[in-house]
Amino acid sequence: MADPTDPRLTPLALSLPATVPFVGPEAQERARGKPFVARLGANESAFGPSPKAIAAMHAAAAGSWQYADPEAHDLRQAIAAHHGIDAAHIMVGEGIDTLLGNLVRLTVAPGDPVVTSAGAYPTFNYHVTGFGGILHTVPYAGDFEDPERLTARAAEVGAKLIYIANPDNPMGSHHGAATIQRMVSHVPDSCLLVLDEAYIDLAPEGTVPFIAPDDDRVIRMRTFSKAYGLAGARVGYAIGPRPLIAAFDRVRNHFGMARISQAAALAALRDQDWLGQVKAMVVAARDRLAGVARDNGLTPLPSATNFVTMDCGQDGAFARQVVKALGEAGIFVRMPFVAPHDRCIRVSCGPDDAIAAFAAALPQALSTARAAS
């Protein structure tokens, strides 16, 4: 492993912090020497993928000696048909995280300004700083990202990109379609709105805005990791204007997608009945998690996602103690990073046994946190 002061590293690489956006549950399990009882921290779908997607992966496994189609032709065509648009507006990649990295690489040069919300999804920031961009942040408006302030700040600094997630991670809030469409109308010239819609399949009716795929002010990011239950398969896609989508071919890893992943996503997309069942299970799990929170004196925030953010009623130090105590009890959860949202913990939806384990561990975790504060 190279020393972090290795002179062979670029000046930019030497300037970056030696951190990653998230510490995975596997690393935490290795540190604690045993597995978690309930894995409720990464917003995965513990309800699993469509049985048809699982069958498709089994069928594709024997062909894993072959590279996947670098154009992901069948999957792109199916996604395009699903949205009623031309496949030239679709780019498939290894999850939204990889697509964000490629987009930043395409559009952000060292020193270029980029605007996001303070405390929003940190992997976007990771890519921006990794390519030398300069982050400008604006605060949330309560528990909501603030579209008006984001576009105003972008105009002030001449931003290349504006990032917003709708629904939002980590707070679980969402804006209606009209608000996002109004935001698009205020995107400054020579700027691009990055609309992260990772949780859009779980959002209430009226959340999805109408944005023409050839609107050169916007690129939308979607994923199979959340509602479709394929986080481990790493399949995401972007929807955007043809020239921008075509530009991804200049920088992307053309053989980054696995054959199994493409087959799984294609089968999952075709099984909308399963998606409907998952949505219903998520709603039930959100209601149950909200009840657990209230039973323990916490305030559950309204959620348009597959997690519930719970206000612990104190500061970030207290919430960190709660997360730590839950981890020691075998319950993996996470929390927002930035004040004032770090007063909360964030708990993913899951099956009844996982929620029951969380409910059993939470009273003692709160008691331990109070004793430590």
Give the C-alpha separation, 332 to 38, whole Å: 6
Per-residue pLDDT averaged across 169-176, rounded?
A: 98
Which one-letter amino acid corresponds to residue 56?
A: A
Alpha-carbon 122 to chain mean position: 9
Find the mean pLDDT for residues 147-155. 98
Task: Give the residue-averaged pLDDT of 186-208.
Answer: 97
Residue pLDDT, tens place only, 114-128: 999 999 999 999 999
- Inform me whether the pLDDT recorded for 346 exceeds 70: yes
Specify the 3-state DSSP secondary structure of 222. Answer: strand
Strand duo 344-348 + 331-332: pairing:
unpaired
Rounded Cα–Cα distance for residues 324 and 303 (Å): 23
| Model pLDDT for residues 82-115, shown as the tens digit of each residue | 999 999 999 999 999 999 999 999 999 999 999 9
Percent of the chain with pLDDT over 70: 99
With a cut of 60, say whether residue 2 has pLDDT above it.
no
- Give the span between the Cα atoms of 76 and 236, in whole angstroms: 11
Asked if the model's pLDDT at residue 361 lies above 60, the reply is yes
pLDDT at residue 1 greater than cutoff 90:
no
**55-76 pLDDT per residue, tens:** 999 999 999 999 999 999 999 9
Could you give the CA distance from residue 354 to residue 36 in angstroms, rounded to a whole number?
A: 10
Q: What letter does residue 343 receive in the DSSP assignment?
A: G
Handedness of CA 81, 213, 44, 28 (dihedral sign): positive
96-275-347 Cα angle (round to 5): 65
Pairing outcome for strands 331-332 and 299-300: unpaired
Quote the strand ranges of 224-364, DSSP E. Answer: 236-239, 299-300, 307-311, 331-332, 344-348
Coil, strand or helix: which one is 32? helix
Mean pLDDT of 138-157: 98
The confidence score (pLDDT) of residue 109 equals 97
CB 169 within 8 A of CB 132: no
Global pTM reads: 0.96
pLDDT beyond 80 at 20 = no
- Does the CA dihedral 121-231-171-168 come out positive or negative? positive
Per-residue pLDDT tens over the stretch 269-280? 999 999 999 999
Dig out the tokens for 86 from the structure.
């031309």
Spatial contact of 370 and 337, defined as CB atoms under 8 Å apart: no
Residue 83 has phi, psi (to 5 degrees) of: -95, -5
pLDDT averaged over the chain?
Answer: 96
Query: Phi and psi at residue 184, in whole multiples of 5°?
Result: -60, -40
Band the pLDDT of 4: cuts 50, 70, 90: low
CA distance 16 to 26: 24
Give the rounded percent of residues in the chain with a pLDDT score beyond 90.
96
What integer pLDDT is reported at residue 373 of this predicted model? 79
Measure the CA–CA gap between 275 and 50, rounded to whole angstroms: 8
Ordered by where they begin, the domains of the chain are 11-48+273-372 (3.90.1150.10), 52-271 (3.40.640.10)
Amino acid 3: pLDDT: 63
